Amino acid sequence: MTPEITVLIIFSLVILYLGWAHGDSSTAENFNMAGREAGWIRVAFGAFTVVGAGEYVGVTAYTKDFGLYTFSLFFGISLGAIVIALFGRRAFMDSRRLKFSSLPDFVNHYYGRCASLLTSLISIAGLGALLLIQFSLGGSILAAFLNIHLAIAIFVIALVVIGYVCLGGLKAILFTDVVQGIAMLLFLLSIVGSLYLTANGTHFAEIERSALFPPLIINDDASGLYFCIVLFFSGFAAVSGGADIWQRLFCASNFEYARRGFLLSAVLYLVFGALLLMLAVQILGEVNPQTADETSNAFIQYFTDNISPFWLGAAVIGIFAGIISTADAELLVVSVLVSREMNRYGLNKNVDSYDTKLIAFGLGIVAAFGGYFAVGRLDTVFTILLFLLLITGGVSWVSLLGRGSKKSVTICMLLSIVIFSIELISGHLFKDLWSLLVPTPFFVSLLIERQPDNV
């Protein structure tokens, strides 16, 4: 057994123990919402750890083409957290009064059943896609790092995530998110610091300015500029419109803790993004990929070919933490949403922790198999995920500002879905500014005051 595998086993057992020791699945309220008593540190790291395996590999690939402009993604993510901190008080107070546990619950109360169902379905599809990405991409990274079969790597990830989610619910997730978030930051801080403070690193001064800040408009082709703008808005929508993020807002013990938590998470996003970009520059300087496939695999190739066993062990912990800290939240939120929709349509009589556990177990197994067969199709899955979140992002922006009527929000959602479908079929998604048309119908709802009978 290699030292890296030993490190992975020990870290997995520690996470499972912490999930069991600090979780609570005695009631649906405790399992789904951590008893609505989370402190601001747990809220902060719970929001921060929505970044995961996709960012490690994706940011490295994007940096090859767009240099440090890739940081626009983290600007968007950070701004989304700040918006919730500034405008989330009304939603938080309503969640206490009416016991909301998710964004669809909030939408159901203010905008009706149809809008709520659409929000649930989009959230389930979007967060389900993200869960597939964590299992598939995370499994690919671990398989390469540890020299094990892909199926085994995905099975290990799924086993750990399903284990502590079912043992302790959201309380377990929030506690382990603190541990995993610190592990992610320490990994990046230590390896970036080691590379840039020693002669082994490729320093920014050694890199041509054109590589760090490549031209975004070339011969009247502004696709690079469009990409960075879309990346910014996608990051903003992923946080401000994510059902998992709203769950963090609703589970805080009071709004002041929620506000502090989201402001801290905004800072953590920026720190993580800056460190990841510094690492990406180093990786691209060492690996120097030439083709699209080589660029996509540059992150994995660097750690398997260019670093010592010590740093490989550290990378295993940091990256594994990033994988499971994202997958756990998506698995729980999707399970809660599926359970509630089944209850509303009479498919299960009670929404309790036992039902949600069974659904989480089943969805985790399905996602693990789906992740195995999704390898090689991740670009499509990732694109669909980002733009589905633009739709729920539009709903959340209207909700946070207290605007929109039942009819206007429902019609705007349907129009956004039609625009999304047309752009997906025509191949325009993520390629130009036409992509930003997806959430534009919601500007109409912003002009409509929410009526008293909607409250």
362: CATH: 1.20.1730.10
Q: What's 36's DSSP letter?
A: G
The residue type of 24 is: D
- State the total domains in the chain: 1
Report if residue 128 sits inside a domain. Answer: yes
Q: Which residues, listed in sequence order, are joined to residue 218 by a DSSP beta bridge?
A: 221
CB 319 within 8 A of CB 156: no
Higher pLDDT residue, 328 or 382? 328
Q: Which domain holds residue 59?
A: 3-374
Query: Do the domain assignments include residue 320?
Result: yes
Nearest alpha carbon to residue 269 among 1, 47, 35, 29: 47
Contacts of 410 (CB under 8 A, 6+ apart): 111, 112, 114, 115, 118
What's the pLDDT tens digit per position in 105-121?
A: 888 888 888 888 888 88
Q: Are 243 and 392 in contact (CB under 8 A)?
A: yes
> What pLDDT score was predicted for residue 340?
83
Nearest Cα to Cα of residue 68 among 281, 386, 310: 281
Give domain status of residue 353, yes or no. yes
Q: Is residue 200 part of a domain?
A: yes
With contact defined as beta carbons under 8 Å apart, do 173 and 329 qualify? yes
Separation of alpha carbons 455 and 448, rounded Å: 14
Give a yes or no: residue 427 inside a domain: no
Rounded to whole angstroms, how far apart are CA atoms 163 and 140?
Answer: 21
Is the pLDDT reported for residue 81 higher than 60? yes
Please give the Cα distance from 21 to 19 (Å, whole number). 6
Mean pLDDT score of the chain: 82
- Report the half-sphere exposure of 68 (CA within 13 A, side-chain side): 13
Backbone angles phi, psi at 401, to 5 degrees: -90, 0
Q: Give, in degrees to the nearest 5, the angle at Cα 22 between 21 and 27.
A: 105
Q: Residue 346, CB half-sphere, CA atoms under 13 Å: how many?
A: 0
Task: Express each pLDDT in 166-219 by its tens digit.
Answer: 888 899 999 999 999 999 999 888 888 877 766 455 554 555 555 566 666 666
> Is residue 155 in some structural domain?
yes
Contact predicate 307/327, CB 8 Å = no
Task: Note the helical H segments in 213-254.
Answer: 223-240, 243-251
Q: What are 364-423's pLDDT values in tens digits? A: 999 899 888 876 666 566 666 666 777 888 888 888 888 888 888 889 889 988 888 887
In this structure, what token pair is assigned to residue 81?
């957290």
| pLDDT in the model for residue 291 | 64
pLDDT at residue number 442: 84
* In-domain check, residue 402: no
Q: What is the pLDDT of residue 217?
A: 64
pLDDT at 45 over 90: yes
Least confident of 39-48, 98-107, 260-269, 288-297: 288-297
In a domain, 183, yes or no: yes
- Top-confidence residue, 193 or 327: 327
Using CA of residue 126, residue 128, residue 133, residue 138, what is the dihedral sign? positive
The 3-state DSSP composition of the chain as helix, strand, coil percent (nearest 5) reads 80, 0, 20
**Better-predicted residue by pLDDT, 33 or 215:** 33
- Any idea which of 84-93, 288-297, 360-369 has the lowest mean pLDDT? 288-297
The encoded tokens of residue 318 equal 């940091």
Q: What is the CA radius of gyration of the chain?
A: 21
User: Which pLDDT score is estimated for 258?
Assistant: 95
